[in-house]
Amino acid sequence: MKFTEFTAKQSKLQNKALLGMSAQIKLAPSYREAMITEETKLQKPRAAAVLALFYPNQSGDTTFLLTKRASYNGTHSAQISFPGGKRETADVSLSETALREAFEEVGIPTAQVNIVKEMTALYVPPSNFMISPYLAFTENRPNFVQNHEVAKIIEIPLMALLDDNCLQSKNKTDKYGNEIIIPYFEFESNEVWGATAMILSEIKELIKNL
């Protein structure tokens, strides 16, 4: 999809109703929905926000940004995700959190970002975060400058997200010894699963249904 076509859909994107968990759950293990609805009320999750940024590549095609996190001693070490993180006390809103984190992690200037809409918040049980995703765009490809938290910048064509051939699944044994099926997006050699895949699933369905 050309970026001019994507930006022409901005008003439709803003006014389109969110699809919520019905779209997110397509990229989650079967047990996840019950875990989200039951545990969210009990755990008093911490607030976080991420930026789903779209922009044109050199050919004028719509592209979005993912990052591979650096390896560290933590729950989401080396995972592929959107730029983002936890809300700080000084953040006046969660959208400010997403913008601040995007600037700190990959150098995206806040003034260049146009936020289109807030997507459905998603609870992440392993880290006890409630993540608020923000769909946004910049008119030009940012000059990315990654910090120590980011191991790699990953740029994905929007058409790859919309292509159902990128949907894959694998069997995995959880920590309790149960066999579960994990759905994920495969973008070239990059496997995107978990919360990031669930957020992308809602974005995909939103754009496809415009």
H/E element holding 208?
helix 194-208
Angstrom distance (rounded) from CA 135 to CA 158: 13
Instruction: Let me know: does 146 contact 105? Beta carbons within 8 Å.
Output: yes
Tokens in use for 184?
């994920």
Q: How far lies 63's CA from each of 90, 134, 159, in Å?
A: 31, 16, 8
Reduced to 3 states (helix: H, G, I; strand: E, B; else coil), residue 139 is: coil
| pLDDT tens digits in sequence order for the chain, 210 residues long | 999 999 999 999 999 999 999 999 999 876 676 666 655 556 688 999 999 999 999 999 999 999 998 876 655 567 899 999 999 999 999 999 999 999 999 999 999 999 999 999 998 888 889 999 999 999 999 999 999 999 999 999 999 999 999 999 998 876 667 788 899 999 998 999 999 999 999 999 999 998
- Among all chains, which residue has been given the structure tokens 């000059």? 143
Long-range contacts (CB closer than 8 Å, 24 or more residues apart) made by 186-189: 187/154, 187/156, 187/160, 187/161
Reduced to 3 states (helix: H, G, I; strand: E, B; else coil), residue 20 is: coil
Instruction: Let me know: does 184 contact 177? Beta carbons within 8 Å.
Output: no
Angstrom distance (rounded) from CA 120 to CA 138: 21
Reduced to 3 states (helix: H, G, I; strand: E, B; else coil), residue 145 is: coil
Tell me which fold the domain 3-164+193-208 belongs to.
Answer: Nucleoside Triphosphate Pyrophosphohydrolase (3.90.79)
Q: How far lies 108's CA from each of 6, 53, 97, 160, 200, in Å?
A: 20, 10, 13, 23, 20
For 71-90, what is the HEC assignment? Answer: CCCCCCCCCEECCEEECCCC
Angstrom distance (rounded) from CA 68 to CA 79: 6
Q: What is the pTM of this model?
A: 0.92
